[in-house]
Structure 1
Amino acid sequence: MRVSYKKLWKLLIDRDMKKRDLQTIAGISSSSIAKLSKNEYVSMDVLVKVCVALKADISDVIELVPDEKEESEDK
C-alpha cells in the first residue's frame, strides 16, 4: 500500500487555497509540503497540523491505495 494526498489537493482547490497558504496556516515546513506533493510519508504531527488548520478529518486528506504490484498479484 502507498499513501495518496489527492484528497488534500482537491480540498485545497475547493477552498481556493494554494500549497503556500496551507504551509502558512498549518505551520509546516516547505519540505513537508514537498513530501506531500510527492505522495511521500510525513509524520503524524504534520498530518494533524494539516487537519487542524483545514478543520478536516484525516480521511479528508489522505487515502491508502494499493501498489501496482499488489493489484497485479490480486488478479
Structure 2
Amino acid sequence: MQTISYKKLWKLLIDKDMLKKDLAQKAKISPTSIAKLSKNENVNTEILQKICNALNCDICDIMEMVEISLDTEGGDEHND
C-alpha cells in the first residue's frame, strides 16, 4: 500500500532556509494547509500548485508516494 509523503517539501524548505510560516506567506496558503501537509494529509491540488509556484519547483520536488508496511504482528488485525 502507498501513501503520500511531503518529506521532500520539508527538506526543500531547509535547503532554502525557510520556515513553514514563510512558505505559508509566500505561497499564500493557510496555516491549516501547512498543518495538513505536516501530517501527510490530503490537500487540494491548488495548494500544491501554489507551493510549487512559490518555490519555483515541480510537484515531484515536494511530494512522493511511499510504501507503508502493514503490521503483521497483530497491531493491524481486524476481528469482525
What TM-score comes out, normalization by structure 2 length? 0.84
Aligned to 1:35: 36
Q: Distance in 2 between matches of 1:45 and 1:17?
A: 21
Q: Which runs of 5+ in 2 are unaligned?
A: 71-80
Identity %: 57
Measure how far apart 1:22 and its partner are. Answer: 0.1
Measured on the aligned residues, the alpha-carbon RMSD in Å equals 0.5
1:16 counterpart SS class = coil
2:53 counterpart SS class = helix
Query: Number of paired residues?
Result: 69
Structure with the larger helix share: 1
Q: Show the 5 A alignment for 1:43-54.
A: 43-54=44-55
Q: Which runs of 5+ in 1 are unaligned?
A: 70-75
What TM-score comes out, normalization by structure 1 length? 0.90
Alpha-carbon displacement from aligned partner over 1:8-64 (angstroms, at most 9, x marks no partner): 000000000000000000000110000000011101000000000000000000000
Post-superposition, which runs of at least 4 consecutive aligned residues in structure 1 deviate over 2 A? Answer: none
Q: Distance in 2 between matches of 1:3 and 1:31?
A: 18
2:57 counterpart SS class = coil
**Greater Rg by CA:** 2
